[in-house]
Structure 1
Amino acid sequence: MGKKIAIVGAGAVGSKVGGHMLANGEDVTFIDGWPDHVEKINKDGLYMTGNTPEEEMTVQGRALHLTDVQELAKEDPIDIAFVSMKSYDTEWATQLIKPYLAPDGFIVSLQNCMNEEFIAAIVGWGKVMGTIAAKISVQMPGPGHVHRNGPIMGNSHTVFRVGEPHGRITPRAEEVAQLCGYCDSYLVTTNLWGERWTKLVMNSSSNPMAAASGLSSTAISEDADLRKVKIHLAAEAIEVGRAAGFNLEKLHGIDCGQWTKALDGDKAAYAEIEEDYIEMGKKGNPDGRPSMGQDMQKGRRTEIDFMNGLVCMKAREFGLKTPVNDGIVEAVKMVEKDPSKATPDLVKGLLP
């Protein structure tokens, strides 16, 4: 497309999306704080794998250490910067790339949670866009290597949803969507905030489950009590999202109202959700974990405050109670300090 692109945060999602841009001839510069990863990309390229032979490829690219970002001052400015960092790193990452943006350049939040407001406080709302990546399921087995655990979704599920904060369809939103589309299916949405909260419902009912239980997504899906905790987490987040006025999208093709019905005793709704959880657990890598589960394995800080913590905070604003989300926040924080406490029973104990 002829644009200069920066990926600020070449973790699993940033590397996967940026890698496919490189494979399609785009001008991409990775910026990351993992020295070995940066060196590996510069020396040998970025190695990408998945569940099929067709996904295996190595793309040659350029990566900068955080201390070398100042080199961008000698070059043409950045047209599009994708911030793909953990939520708690959003603000400093935005400050890092801000001086190198073109006059009409902008920043795309390619992250979990809801970070557009943090970015806008630094660069202004006119330079902010959001992109939700749902069911991309990627991890970093090592430096210079990104692996996709789940299947390529294609027409079965739209992975990337790109939107402007003001909700209008714009040429730049369409351009960003096409860039993400090198990796998998995409659309431009007029409902960024509803899409964001819908993804938050998905994340808040899966990420902390893996972190606090120590189990893979597949193992969680096979346990009836753990599935019940997931349903409670999602139902609470859905109630808060609706109170906030968000237009929630379907979850895995199921109307969000089904979660509320399930907890109100609707056996058909409960069975529909359970069947979906079980079927999703059968897809992809049986040992695959969402990002928070991966964080625990690697001894990193999680995004629990920006995920379930946000659900709990918003609930208090509307006078709502979220006991299971409150409990999972405490459980994850406890496990962050002592990983040996991660057990399925810790999570099952949250059931009312």
Structure 2
Amino acid sequence: MSEEPILIWGAGAIGGILGAYWARAGQPVLMVDIVEDHARACSGGGLEIEGPVESFRQTVPCVTPDAVEGRYRRIVLAVKAPATETAMDQLLPHLAEDGFVLSAQNGLNERRIAALAGPERTMGAFVNFGADWQGPGRILFGNRGAVVVGEIDGSERPRTREMHALLRLFEPEAVLTENIWGYLWGKLAYGAMLFATALTPDSMAANFADPARIPALIALGREVMAVARAEGVTPHGFNGFDPAAYMPGGGDAAARASIAALAAFNSKTAKTHSGIWRDLAVRKRRTEVDPQIGVIVEIAESHGIAVPVLARLVALIHDIEDGRRPQSAETFAALAETLTPGVA
């Protein structure tokens, strides 16, 4: 592995775990985070990774954005989607001319990164492991999940293979793909379902297992897949999510089988609730609903595709954020009211 440091911009659930594993493996890492207490803890006493997968403490150098110096060939962007533009403004002066930014985020942030840094300096990644930032110097690693890396133009280059090798230090089953957009759109469909689970106080597994909520979850998957097809993307499956089950001709039985597989996958994690639920219920802050789900609604409109369930989901999440609705079964029922009679 290279002795050149990797810069990880965002030391939360995703970036912090990657940084801890890479540092433990002997890879030089510098993390950046806006929470000063967290940066101090990671650099001093060490970042504590907790949970059933593995528990360890690792010192990882971490600074606030104003203290970053130098330029880096490899920058991993791991901030929440709404913070992408601000983070890019801060990190671009530190990106080497021959460098790239790898998006380890949820959503389609690669599109915005490519617009700001250039397509040639943008790489995509898909992560589905379960993790939560618990507080300064503490991250829960709830379960392993799919980890994928790929170039946004579908090529395979030495730098892509290099990042794949690094990701395998964390996840031995990490995949190098020529279809990163397929994974990202698959995650968008699954992510839409996770946003729906955050409408309630129940766990992810409980939501996926509730017969009354399954039709709405299936409808979300089908709407996202319709937009992906219009974009010319072939979505890829992972961890129980089967994109073919939500395509025309997939049938209700296949869709329900995929939902059951997602219920089973989420029943085996110490991270019982989504990060979206945690944003609403614990951290009392706005979610990533606009850059993750709202953007799908916008893309759907550009293709003339109706996505009423997705649009309703965005509105309901905003209702919770703004205090107009609670996280409750009744709020989920308001999503289900959008369904066309006879859906799944």
| TM-score, L = length of structure 2 | 0.91
- Give the distance between the partners of 1:304 and 1:292, measured in 2 at CA: 9
- Give the distance between the partners of 1:261 and 1:272, measured in 2 at CA: 16
Shift of 1:339: 7.5
**1:202 and 1:251 in contact (8 A); partners too:** no
Aligned to 1:163: 150
Shift of 1:260: 4.0
Shift of 1:49: 1.7
- Give the distance between the partners of 2:97 and 2:134, measured in 1 at CA: 37
**2:12 and 2:79 in contact (8 A); partners too:** yes
Structure 1: state its 5+ residue gaps: 154-158
Q: In the comparison of the two structures, how many residue pairs are matched? A: 334
Shift of 1:226: 2.1
**2:183 and 2:236 in contact (8 A); partners too:** yes
Corresponding position: 1:79 with 2:73: yes
**2:319 and 2:325 in contact (8 A); partners too:** no
- Give the distance between the partners of 1:160 and 1:275, measured in 2 at CA: 22
**1:160 and 1:177 in contact (8 A); partners too:** no
Shift of 1:138: 0.3
Alignment of 1:177-256 (within 5 A): 177-184=164-171, 185-206=173-194, 208-252=195-239, 255-256=242-243
Shift of 1:106: 1.3
Spell out, residue by residue over 1:107-157, the C-alpha distance to the aligned partner (whole angstroms, 9 max, x if none). 1111000111211222221111111102x010012210111112x35xxxx
What is the DSSP-based 3-state SS (H/G/I as helix, E as strand, rest coil) of the residue aligned with 1:30?
strand
Aligned to 2:299: 314
Aligned to 2:63: 64
Alignment of 1:41-120 (within 5 A): 41-52=42-53, 55-69=54-68, 72-73=69-70, 77-120=71-114
Aligned to 2:246: 259
Aligned to 1:341: 326
- Give the distance between the partners of 2:29 and 2:76, measured in 1 at CA: 10
Spell out, residue by residue over 1:200-249, the C-alpha distance to the aligned partner (whole angstroms, 9 max, x if none). 1111121x123322322122123212222211111110111111110111
Cα 1:89–1:271, aligned 2, differ >3 Å: closer, same or farther? closer
Spell out, residue by residue over 1:258-290, the C-alpha distance to the aligned partner (whole angstroms, 9 max, x if none). 22468x8x45324412421331232112x6222
| TM-score, L = length of structure 1 | 0.89
Shift of 1:301: 1.6
Identity %: 26
**1:9 and 1:31 in contact (8 A); partners too:** yes
Spell out, residue by residue over 1:21-54, the C-alpha distance to the aligned partner (whole angstroms, 9 max, x if none). 00100111110011211111122011112214xx
Q: Which moved more, 1:19-28 or 1:114-123?
A: 114-123
- Give the distance between the partners of 2:167 and 2:148, measured in 1 at CA: 9
Moved over 3 A (4+): 251-255
Q: Which moved more, 1:91-100 or 1:327-336?
A: 91-100
Cα 1:118–1:268, aligned 2, differ >3 Å: closer, same or farther? closer
- Give the distance between the partners of 1:220 and 1:349, measured in 2 at CA: 15
Aligned to 2:342: none
Shift of 1:251: 4.5
**1:45 and 1:144 in contact (8 A); partners too:** yes
**1:177 and 1:188 in contact (8 A); partners too:** yes
What is the DSSP-based 3-state SS (H/G/I as helix, E as strand, rest coil) of the residue aligned with 2:8?
strand
- Give the distance between the partners of 1:267 and 1:115, measured in 2 at CA: 32
- Give the distance between the partners of 2:285 and 2:247, measured in 1 at CA: 33
Cα 1:61–1:253, aligned 2, differ >3 Å: closer, same or farther? closer
- Give the distance between the partners of 2:313 and 2:236, measured in 1 at CA: 24
What is the DSSP-based 3-state SS (H/G/I as helix, E as strand, rest coil) of the residue aligned with 1:89?
helix
Structure 2: state its 5+ residue gaps: 340-344
Cα RMSD (Å) of the superposition? 1.9
Aligned to 1:137: 130
Aligned to 1:156: none
**2:189 and 2:224 in contact (8 A); partners too:** yes
- Give the distance between the partners of 1:102 and 1:311, measured in 2 at CA: 32
